[in-house]
Amino acid sequence: MVPRRDGVLALATMTRNTALREAPLPTDALFGKTIVLVGLMGAGKTSIGRRLAARLGLPFRDADAEIELAAGCTIPEIFARYGEPAFRDGERRVIARLLAAEPMVLAYGGGAFMDPSTRAATRQEAVSVWLRCPVATLAKRVAGRDNRPLLANNDREETLRRLTEIRNPVYAEADVIVDCGEETPDVTTAQVLDALADWTPPRRLKVTLSQSSYDVAIGDGLLSRAGALLAPVLPQKRAVVVTDKAVAALHLETLMAGLANTGFVATSVIIPGGEAGKNLETWQTIVSALLEARVERRTAVIALGGGVVGDLAGFAAATTLRGLPFVQIPTTLLSQVDSSVGGKTGVNTAFGKNLVGAFYQPRIVLADTGVLATLPPRELRAGYAEIAKAGLIGDAGFFAWCEANGAAVCNGDRDAQAEAIQRACAFKAGVVGDDEREEKPNDGRALLNLGHTFGHALEADYGYDGGLLHGEGVAVGLGLAFKLSARLGHCTREDAERVIAHVASVGMAADLRMLNRRFSASELVAHMKRDKKVRDGALHFVLARGIGRAFTSSDVPAEAVVDLLRDEGCGV
């Protein structure tokens, strides 16, 4: 279930209204989860935690105090008698018990968040807040304290500086980061409340396959949080980012900074953009760059860009060292709802589109809605065609939602875009989970090709030169698929007209005549026969019995397709 923001908005209103500053805040404001404070010793986790708990009307617990209570001795005594490993084991068990209890404000000891299992449990059960303080402030606060085993007999400031270098990249995986320094605890508490009020967790959608699963995370600002989102799912904090020149200029710096914040060591490979470069030569360039960088089998390949980048980088990841961890960070609406989900990777050849490739699933997909603001309107509309397609295949209610909200999606409404992405990806995830490798001959993953037999033929006719975007070809293809279905008696003419009217309403070409190009029916059919969806020499079409009722067919008379195309204005 996607968390609602109602409670967070209420929290924001109350914390920023000075007349209500001292009022307890609703505990459901953060979705009924424990709030965990992390940071180095001296960051103020206990003092801030007590104030935060009072403001939220929650109990407060200090993990170190709970450990001492359970052990019957102080933490310095535990270190002296049993050593740090025994202390960490006890700390892990105590924190697991506290996280499983009712919501509270919980202050961790400085090293607790360093434990991977504790971080995993925290992500699942709590909202984590890192109190980030300068070393000089920390050293001043811990001066004179004798209950810090890691500071015993050591230079405090130098020890804190060393711990900062080690721990800060891990603390940066926290959900919320609050910078604090010399201000009073009350001021810092207010800053924490404001930060929590502004925090919105990404929407999460799980793609479940026969032998694996992964999440699609959807939200604003995910590039800057990429390191925190990727660290839990990758085996190594080392990555190579594959992107194109246009995307690199817009988003590469933000992504690299987001990775560096959590200690990732990342390099980049920049390739030319566009469908024309989606070929074996560019794939070879990427593979050579990966090998030259001496990647290991745990080094991740991150695709930052549209569908072309995702397909190329995914194919390179699938084939280099027989498989590298792969991450999709799609930057177009089309790739966010289509190519980034499902594991299809590949390149084009002179014989057709995507004829060389592999099924290779990502570890995670990050769909940052914020990057969509940099897209030209044409790119947004082209991506929207794949969203409407999902409703037309198997969800009439979603297509009705599209008719009501499609214009908002194409005009940049961030909430509408997030909802559309989630619903379209959820539909595709269900189809892919049931037919991962498109092995079902009928009504499996092949249904996702609604409009694509026509669309790919149109793209091939243009020569993949950018004159026709993939989504634009699919948009025309959707109308043609419904017109063909109506001609064959599977659906009504009104269904076809409804599809065409909706495509036109968001500003896309809805039929062949609107493309202002002369086509040959025989040439388009020839392109279709070279498509990878051909089986036993027969063309396979996805047709429809109505809105949301698609099916596959291999017995469409060739003359019916030719007649349709000629009636749409194509030449012989």
Say which of 225, 275, 449, 533 is annotated catalytic: 449
Query: Structure tokens of 334?
Result: 């089309």
Say which of 344, 389, 498, 527 is annotated catalytic: 344
| Degrees, nearest 5: CA angle 502-503-504 | 90
Beta-strand relationship, 238-244 and 300-305: parallel
Q: How far apart are CA 174 and CA 19, in angstroms?
A: 31
Query: Structure tokens of 89?
Result: 């084991």
Q: How far apart are CA 42 and CA 157, in angstroms?
A: 12
Say which of 445, 483, 533, 540 is annotated catalytic: 445
Q: Is 490 a catalytic residue?
A: no
Q: Which are the contacts of 70, defined by CB distance < 8 A and separation ≥ 6? A: 90, 94
- Please report the sign of the dihedral spanned by the C-alpha atoms of residue 296, residue 302, residue 308, residue 311: positive
Q: How far apart are CA 542 and CA 480, in angstroms?
A: 11
How distant, in Å, are the alpha carbons of 22, 24, 559 from that of 57? Answer: 11, 5, 73
Beta-strand relationship, 344-349 and 352-359: antiparallel
Give which of 359, 388, 349 is closest to 476, Cα–Cα: 388
DSSP per-residue letters across 432-481: HHH-TTS--SSSSGGGGGTTHHHHHHHHHHHTSSSSS-HHHHHHHHHHHH
Say which of 322, 439, 516, 518 is annotated catalytic: 322
Dihedral of CA atoms 477, 479, 481, 486 in degrees, nearest 10, equals -170
Q: Is 438 a catalytic residue?
A: yes
Q: How far apart are CA 207 and CA 213, in angstroms?
A: 5
Say which of 470, 502, 527, 533 is annotated catalytic: 470
With H, G, I as helix, E, B as strand and everything else as coil, classify residue 239: strand
Q: How far apart are CA 140 and CA 70, in angstroms?
A: 30
Q: How far apart are CA 121 and CA 100, in angstroms?
A: 9
Say which of 428, 502, 533, 540 is annotated catalytic: 428
Q: Is 381 a catalytic residue?
A: no
Q: How far apart are CA 371 and CA 220, in angstroms?
A: 8
SS3 content of the chain, % helix, strand, coil (to 5): 55, 15, 30
Q: Running DSSP on this structure, what letter comes out for residue 416?
A: H
Say which of 66, 125, 275, 386 is annotated catalytic: 386
Q: Is 452 a catalytic residue?
A: yes
Q: Is 386 a catalytic residue?
A: yes
Say which of 363, 456, 533, 540 is annotated catalytic: 456
Q: How far apart are CA 278 and CA 463, in angstroms?
A: 12
With H, G, I as helix, E, B as strand and everything else as coil, classify residue 44: coil
- Contact (Cβ atoms closer than 8 angstroms) between residue 531 and residue 352: yes
Q: Is 540 a catalytic residue?
A: no
Q: Is 449 a catalytic residue?
A: yes
Q: How far apart are CA 358 and CA 361, in angstroms?
A: 10
Q: How far apart are CA 382 and CA 508, in angstroms?
A: 8
Q: Is 527 a catalytic residue?
A: no
- Contact (Cβ atoms closer than 8 angstroms) between residue 203 and residue 237: no
What residues act catalytically?
Answer: 322, 344, 386, 428, 438, 445, 449, 452, 456, 470
